[in-house]
Amino acid sequence: DARVTQTPRHKVTEMGQEVTMRCQPILGHNTVFWYRQTMMQGLELLAYFRNRAPLDDSGMPKDRFSAEMPDATLATLKIQPSEPRDSAVYFCASAEGAEQYFGPGTRLTVT
Amino acid sequence: AQKVTQAQTEISVVEKEDVTLDCVYETRDTTYYLFWYKQPPSGELVFLIRRNSFDEQNEISGRYSWNFQKSTSSFNFTITASQVVDSAVYFCALSGYNTDKLIFGTGTRLQVFP
């Protein structure tokens, strides 16, 4: 049963620290998405890649967030420096066609 | 602009009741996809269904059914004989045919009581 995996599942960090979240998409899926979920904003698309190339990162605060796909099996989302308003659940999803399959999420708390 | 509206913030039912979750969407695309996802208390998002805009046939999968009506821009989701395990937040989402971006509604929290 192929699944998207994300690490870590939980992260607590202090303001100003760097945070890196990792995602392993489903093997064979060529599109990878990063979403953020908060109570206030709901589910928001931050960025996505197809065949490892960034297609859209317009939802991402450029000054502190960066997303990369070093290879087809790994996507990373980095926040530097982190701020309390970044506290949220970050989801990775992968897709081969129109259906996106989500990972379990990384719950980030920035104090 | 694309938009998905789930007007029901929270619904509570007793087990075995039928319940319908409403979803209304806005798009200028002539071809698009509609989706439903389930988010149980554990937090993951579970894909339930995808419909293409050119296919208005209703779909049934076990206790779940979906009613797609282009005339009213609605894609409603009905759970028949609800169970406690159906308790979750349900999200309706929309994407254009030539874009991968999913636009989510704000979700409907369904609580099924024994």
pLDDT by residue (tens digit) across A90-105? 999 999 888 899 999 9
The answer to whether the beta carbons of residues A79 and A67 sit under 8 Å apart is no
Residue A70, judged by CB atoms within 10 A of its CB (0-12, 13-18, 19+), counts as exposed
How far apart are the C-alpha atoms of A82 and A41, rounded to whole Å? 18
Query: How are beta strands B108-113 and B10-14 bridged, if at all?
Result: parallel
Of the partner residues B45, B50, B101, the one whose CB lies closest to the CB of residue A102: B45
Mean pLDDT for B99-111 is: 92
Here the tokens at position A5 are: 């995996």
B50 to chain A: nearest residue by CA?
A99
On average, the pLDDT of chain A sits at 94
Give, in order, the Cα–Cα distances in Å from A28 to each of A25, A43, B45. Answer: 8, 25, 20
Cβ–Cβ below 8 Å for B100 and A50: yes
Largest Cα span, chain A = 38
Cβ–Cβ below 8 Å for B100 and A102: no
On average, the pLDDT of chain B sits at 94
Strands (E) in B28-73, as ranges, are: 32-39, 46-52, 59-61, 64-69
CB pairs under 8 A between A and B: 44
Of the partner residues A43, A56, A103, the one whose CB lies closest to the CB of residue B91: A43
| Residues in chain A closer than 8 A to B100 (CB atoms) | 31, 33, 48, 50, 55, 95, 98, 100
What pLDDT, in 10s, does the model give residues B52-80?
998 888 888 899 999 999 999 999 999 99
Mutate: best of B44, B92, B95, B106, partner A, most A CBs <10 A: B44
A101 to chain B: nearest residue by CA?
B47
Cβ–Cβ contacts within 10 Å for residue A9, how many?
Answer: 12
For the cut 90, the answer to whether the pLDDT of residue B96 exceeds it is no
The answer to whether the beta carbons of residues A108 and A57 sit under 8 Å apart is no
B48 to chain A: nearest residue by CA?
A99
> What local confidence, expressed as pLDDT, does residue B19 receive?
98
Residue A81's pLDDT band, with cuts at 50, 70 and 90, is very high
